[in-house]
Amino acid sequence: MRLPAFPPPYRHEHGPIKNVNEVVKEQLTLGQRAADWIAAKVGSWQFIIGQSALLTLWAILNVTAWVRHWDPYPFILMNLVLSLQAAYTAPMIMMSQNRKAERDRIEAHIDYEVNQKAETEIRVILENLEAQNVAIAEIHKLIAELRTGNTGESSL
């Protein structure tokens, strides 16, 4: 009887899986952190409610002249302030979104690397299972031959 051949043991020679959050955090510049902070604040209900309250107060104080008319109706100064806010906020939000898109690209690349490693390991597992199937078939054949007493060897 020949001994079944098994593939050599698999050696994990790849590096550890990378955490996308750590990779991206290491690459952040001060400007990118600031853009993320501004995008998070401007994109919140607190900001919307606060800005709505401020604009309402601005309009009431100017219409009723409780303090004095620093920006009479149609609120040209308010329009200027809102335009400046939009002019500076929109590019910062875009910077934050671009950085998040870059994070998604890094995550997709790391997923691709993980998939390649998994495919290699699955291929090795399947080869090992096939070798085990062959070995089990030979062992079954040997057991069947031993039960029938027909080993094919001559007795002396």
**pLDDT higher than threshold 90 for residue 101:** yes
Q: Decide: 38 and 92 in contact? Cβ < 8 Å.
A: yes
Beta strands in the chain (DSSP E): none
Spans of all domains in the chain:
28-148
C-beta of residue 131 within 8 angstroms of C-beta of residue 7: yes
* Residue 115 in this model has a pLDDT that exceeds 50: yes
Give the Cα separation of 96 and 105 in Å (integer): 14
Question: For residue range 17-63, what is the model confidence (pLDDT) as tens digits?
Answer: 778 888 888 888 999 999 999 999 998 999 999 999 999 999 998 88
Q: Classify the phi-psi angles of 9: left when phi > 0, otherwise alpha if psi is within -120 to 50, otherwise beta.
A: beta
